[in-house]
Chain A
Amino acid sequence: MNQSRTFEPADESGTMALGAELAELFAGGGIVYLSGDLGAGKTTLVRGLLRALGFSGRVKSPSYGLIESYTIDGRDIHHLDLYRLGHGEEIAYLGLEDLLSQDSLLLVEWPERGEGWLPAPDWRVRIDDRAGGGRSITVQQTKESTQSA
């Protein structure tokens, strides 16, 4: 299965609202690659997803600490930003295998920095600019994925 959907949020609150749809889509857990330029709204999308799941605390950028983890209703959600990795191998030091439990969800920004070391994604989310403003957000379930939508 290789299905793809595209959303076109007009602004930041639209991106937040889309996070709620993604929360439902990713309910079974897995790995999500989040791509898009600096400032495109990757962390905003994650914030929307966490809010939809009922998390009301701070959703800080993971850029500095590499990983921000949340436990919501007993389920682990990890938000990673690999931009600052010098080499994909350094993922090994993050203890990624420990984070991949049955229903945990990994949302990974700058996944290309971990190429060759990061497990294959269940979904790819791409955020692009739309001419005239707003964003185009494409959510694609990957071939490799064994998840059913």
Chain B
Amino acid sequence: MQNIIGIETSCDETGVALYNADRGLVGDLVYTQADHAAYGGVVPELASRDHVRKLPGMIRELLDRAEMTARDLDAVAYTAGPGLAGALLVGASTSVALAAALDVPAIAVHHMEGHLLSPLLEDPAPDFPFVALLVSGGHTMLVAVEGFGRYRLLGETLDDAAGEAFDKTARLLGLGYPGGPEVARLAETGDPDRFDFPRPMTNRPGLDFSFSGLKTHTRELVARVAPEDHADVAAGFEQAVAETLAIKCKRALKETRMQRLVIAGGVSANTRLRAELERRLSGRVYYPSLKLCTDNGAMIAHAGWYRRAEANRDGMIAVRPRWPIDSLAG
């Protein structure tokens, strides 16, 4: 199995990429559905309709750029979950159909495993074992990655994901979507120490997160301050999220006795989070390139190669919108 195409459609990004067993990544295209900004979030069915529209052209362009044809493909890897059901179905049905037409096997990939293994696409790549912090609009979790297929969920959010907290804070402040960059931009001119914000669940043991209370706190603050104070609110909120995440990361390294932290997910691009991690865990944090941090097809093609033993031709289009990461086998 030489050439694997990876297809990612679990949320708003449409990603296609080619992974070659000898040469590594040989092509990678991502299309972000910017239209969603108008709705203040990812509209699930709109998202799946857009995946339908984008996928065929993107696959063609990917092959053209790599100077290959569909006949050169040896397997089709796709995100089978977790994610939005409608969006997953588009990627899964396209992939299974493509595999059947080419008479090659399909490989169902766990989106989070894609993220967990994606640092291995970098040069230099971090060695196993490591702790991974996955922070995005839909997920906030700490996972101990002992090796391929050996994942232990250390903690996750009990309510809102960190990225969701950013999106909702942006809504409270009358900013656009996605909320992360908008809140960060406003926070640049703000004083993070002017208002008190809680650091949820940092004063008790455990590695779970909770960002819902922070959202309520921000809401009550916004209701009683003037618009010119919003930059200070944004800065205080952002600092609270960054410190909360960094405190838990440090604790996760201590509890697992692992030496390295790898971050992924859209929120990992946040400058204040990176600064906090650097301050508390200097030299022990591995930052994959931003391109690999957000959703992409490269990580799916790559994880598909790791999962090549599970490649099959049964033609089943099975998606799992909810799929626990620690249910995967090595």
Contact = CB atoms under 8 A, between A and B. Distances in A.
A67 B111 CA distance: 19
A38 B165 CA distance: 11
Interface in B16-55: 39-46
B44 A90 contact: yes
Nearest to A63: B164
A81 B219 CA distance: 19
Given A39-B218, A84-B39, A66 B172 contact: no
Interface residues of B, number: 32
B160 interface: yes
Most buried by B among A12, A39, A43, A84: A39
A93 B39 contact: no
Interface stretch (A22-30, A54-62, A96-104): A54-62
Contacts of A43: 159, 212
A129 B138 CA distance: 28
Interface string A45-85: 00100000000001111011110000000000000000111
B158 A58 contact: yes
Contacts of B219: 37-40
Contacts, number: 72
A86 interface: yes
B196 to A, nearest CB: 16
Contacts of A93: 44-45, 86
Contacts of A129: 223
Interface in B63-117: 84, 86
Interface of B: 39-46, 84, 86, 137-138, 156-161, 164, 168, 171-172, 212-213, 215-216, 218-220, 223, 321-322
Given A61-B159, A63-B168, A83-B41, 4 more contacts: A65-B84, A65-B321, A84-B41, A90-B44
